[in-house]
Amino acid sequence: MLTYKNKRLTMGTRNTLVGLSFILPSFIGLLVFVLIPVLFSFILAFMDWDGFNEMTFVGSSNFLDIFGDRAFKSALIKTFAFTIVTTLLTTFAALGLAVLLNKKLRFKNFFRSAIFFPYFSSMASIAVVWKLLFMKDIGPINQFLGMLGVANPPGWLASTDWALPAVMIVYIWKYMGYYMIVYLAALQDIPIELYEAASIDGADGFQYFWRVMVPMLMPATFFVVLMLTIESFKSFDLVFAMTEGGPGTATTLLSNFIYNKAFISFDYGVTSAASFVLFAIIAVITLFQLHIEKKMSN
Amino acid sequence: MIEKKNPASTVITYILLAALTVVTLLPLVWMVSASLKPDIDVFSVPIQWVPKNPMWSNYTTIWSKIPFALFTWNSMKLSVLITLIQVTVSSFAAYGFTKCNFKGRDILFFAYIATIAIPWQVYMLPQYTELRIMNLGDSHTGYILIQSFLAFGVYLMRQFYQNIPNELMEAARIDGLNEYGIYFKIVLPLSKPVIATLSIYWFVRIWNDFMGPMIYFDSESNKTIPLGIRMFIGQYSTEYGLLMASSVVSLIPVIIVFLAFQRFFVQGIATSGMKN
């Protein structure tokens, strides 16, 4: 153990050693199981390797392969569509729910918990439940649509057009409660004086919402949109558990493409190259959004 | 006044909320209902919300048809062990990052934050290869190692420790406590709320983890509940009742944790998200 009694060490060295001793257990783990794999992945992106035979250096050819690959382009487009739709709808849903639940209501906690709960339910369980709910001919959702008089309800997971929207619905259902809590926390921070001042000025509910709440919630909205963009861009397990990317490639997102390259084609170089493309896109989006946020708050 | 005075808007709010709550909970209710039916009744028209002859035997069959007890034990063991390691190591590191001053500290912390931003897909495969090289492929030890040292825990803990006033440490230092003493005697007792938050998060996360075990565990004896559930989905036929019963069972610990500690979750979201 390092103590202050060790007189031979200078104060600065001692502080460094003590500080590092706290961080060391965590850092060794992070280094071995995250940082080194990330570095290894970067090297692999320029290699040809199947995980067993000799590695060969191939330069940028993995990246050229990807950009010439129609499956990759299709996955990229679907990932963008998925991200844009789920981010927008989840943000609106979360904001709406938070505004409703910020009022003085009975059973407020019950409503809150109920809407928050799907976030904690396991993907493996809820994916199979929704899969059954979405079944084409006998599923409860289409039964219900039939009752409402919809003559040709969509085929959902069996249809190449409707599979992705079905997955989006489940995504929004699962995550809106989480971001609702973020908004609720932010709503707590709006000073009551603003509310009173708006009242005195004769503002109605809508005016209060647009003129006071929305601007005051801007930082929270930036956070929510940023998190949702990142999370939906790399989302994977929901699609995997519900459709495994199908039918055909209708729901094959970038992450599913990467998974298939790794564990089905054993093309480790292309896997790493594609994963860095994913990372680069996320990084660019993040920096762009942070830039806008900075600009707007000035 | 802006709201409250308008009874119509209050009624609309209640109706909206009630409708949204029903829509949110209905899939889960349907799951419970289907778990008590024979396969043939699962999709009966119209939907039978309360089964006429509840088939409780679904809940006993799951334990004998597949090694569900073993999977439950594996899930429990992994969730508890990983949470313990993650919380201990993170809280220790967070103290180093907030309360000890030394050169290079902030650069090191930046490396931590950067790893949070890197998608798991980037290092999923090298991690898998690394564990295989270390002879830890398809083992609980390997899975524990890759899930216990993620930077998020350090980040969350640090957010909390930053709010502990430095005067407290100074006073303790003057009283002759060394850094380890301060950590164990002063900071650790103060950090119960954030320890609770991180523990619950990590427990639920590992309990629900589906991709990790799917990639890492090949042998049946290593598998966890999320993988077990999928064993009822056959290539040609699916045993719906058993599938739903096992799903319900998998949710029970999460429901208990959720109801008991919900406020910590809420606190955690506020801490991790909004204060930077």
Q: What is the ipTM of this complex?
A: 0.87
B262 against B167, higher pLDDT: B167
The answer to whether B84 and A240 are in contact (CB under 8 A) is no
What residue segments make up the domains of chain A, in order of their start? Answer: 70-297
Containing structural domain, residue B27? 7-58
Query: Cβ contacts (< 8 Å) between B145 and chain A: which residues?
Result: 29, 32-33
Q: Look at B2 and B74; give whichever has higher pLDDT.
A: B74
**Nearest-by-Cβ selection for B178 from A4, A51, A116:** A4
Task: Answer yes or no: do B38 and B164 share one domain.
Answer: no
User: Span B170-192, mean pLDDT?
Assistant: 90
Contact status, residue B202 vs residue B83, Cβ threshold 8 Å: yes
Q: How many CB atoms lie within 10 A of CB A34?
A: 24
> In the predicted model, is pLDDT for residue B274 greater than 50?
no
Q: A70-297: which CATH topology?
A: MetI-like fold (1.10.3720)
User: Is the model's pLDDT at B206 over the cut of 80?
Assistant: yes
Residues of chain A with confidence (pLDDT) below 70: 1-9
Last residue of a domain, one of B19, B41, B58: B58
Amino acid at A76: L
Confirm if B36 and B58 have CB atoms less than 8 A apart: yes
Residue found under tokens 């934050």? B113
Residue B1 resides in a domain: no
**B216 and B113 belong to one structural domain:** yes
Contacts of A124 (CB under 8 A, 6+ apart): A241, B208, B210, B225, B226, B227, B229, B230, B247, B250
Per cent of chain B over pLDDT 70 is 95
Dihedral sign for Cα A192, A197, A202, A205, please: negative
User: Can you give the pLDDT at residue B276?
Assistant: 37
Residue at B225 is within a domain: yes
Q: Peptide bond before A118: cis, by omega within 30 degrees of 0? A: no
Residue pair B237/A129 in contact (Cβ under 8 Å)? The answer is no
Are residues B138 and B259 both part of a single domain? yes
CB A71 within 8 A of CB A252: yes
Instruction: Please tell me whether residues B234 and B112 are part of one structural domain.
Output: yes
Report the pLDDT value the prediction gives residue B2, as an integer from 0 to 100.
52
User: In terms of CA atoms, which chain A residue is nearest residue B33?
Assistant: A129
pLDDT at A280: 94
Q: Do A122 and B129 touch (CB under 8 A)?
A: no
CB–CB of B130 and A33 under 8 A? Answer: yes
Is B165 within the bounds of a domain? yes
**DSSP assignment string, chain A:** ---TT-TTS-HHHHHHHHHHHHHHHHHHHHIIIIIHHHHHHHHHTTEE--SSS--EE-TTHHHHHHHH-HHHHHHHHHHHHHHHHHHHHHHHHHHHHHHHHTS--TTHHHHHHHHHGGGGS-HHHHHHHHHHHT-TTT-HHHHHHHHTT-SS---GGGSTTTHHHHHHHHHHHHHHHHHHHHHHHHHHTS-HHHHHHHHHTT--HHHHIIIIIHHHTHHHHHHHHHHHHHHHHT--HHHHHHTTT-STTTT--HHHHHHHHHHTS--HHHHHHHHHHHHHHHHHHHHHHHHHHHHHH-
Tell which of B122, B255, B264, B274 to mutate to test the A interface (max A CBs under 10 Å): B122
Task: Say if the Cβ atoms of B105 and A130 lie within 8 Å.
Answer: no
B45-48 CB contacts, 8 Å cutoff, 24+ apart? B45/A138, B45/A143, B46/A143, B47/A140, B47/A143
* pLDDT for res B275: 41
Asked, for residue B2, whether it belongs to a domain, the answer is no
Same domain, B266 and B132: yes
Please indicate whether residue B74 or residue A203 has the higher confidence score (pLDDT).
B74
Number of inter-chain CB pairs under 8 A, A vs B: 276
Helix axes B105-117, B151-161, angle to 10 degrees: 130
The confidence band for B4, taking pLDDT boundaries of 50, 70 and 90, is: low
Q: For residues A86 and A172, is the Cβ–Cβ distance under 8 A?
A: yes
pLDDT digits over B75-110, tens only?
999 999 999 999 999 999 999 999 888 888 889 998
A168 phi/psi in degrees, rounded to 5: -60, -40
How far is the C-alpha of B132 from the C-alpha of B147, rounded, in Å? 16
CATH code of residue B114 = 1.10.3720.10
pLDDT(B42) > 50: yes
Cis upstream peptide for A247 (omega within 30°) = yes
Asked whether B102 and A11 are in contact (CB, 8 A), the reply is no
Q: Which band of pLDDT confidence, cut at 50, 70 and 90, is reported for residue B271?
A: low
Q: Name chain A contacts of B230, Cβ cutoff 8 Å.
A: 124, 128, 241
Provide the domain count of chain B: 2
Taking residue A146's Cβ as centre, other Cβ atoms within 10 Å add up to: 14
Cα(B148)–Cα(A28) distance, rounded to whole angstroms?
11
Q: Which two tokens stand for residue A213?
A: 């709440």
- Separation between Cα atoms, residue A200 and residue B263, nearest integer Å: 35
Claim to verify: residue B43 and residue B140 sit in the same structural domain: no
Of B93, B183, B251, the CB nearest to A122: B251
Q: Residue A95's pLDDT is what?
A: 95
Report the C-alpha gap between B41 and B37 in whole angstroms: 6
Helix (H, G, I), strand (E, B), or coil: what is residue B155? Answer: helix
Q: Least CA distance to B48: which residue of chain A?
A: A140
Residues of chain A positioned with their CB less than 8 A from the CB of B255: 117
State how far the Cα of B24 lies from the Cα of A35, in Å rounded to an integer. Answer: 39
Q: What angle do CA B215, B216, B222 make, to 5 degrees?
A: 125
Mean of pLDDT values over B151-169: 89
User: Within this chain, do residues B228 and B115 fall inside the same structural domain, yes or no?
Assistant: yes
The encoded tokens of residue B253 equal 């610990």
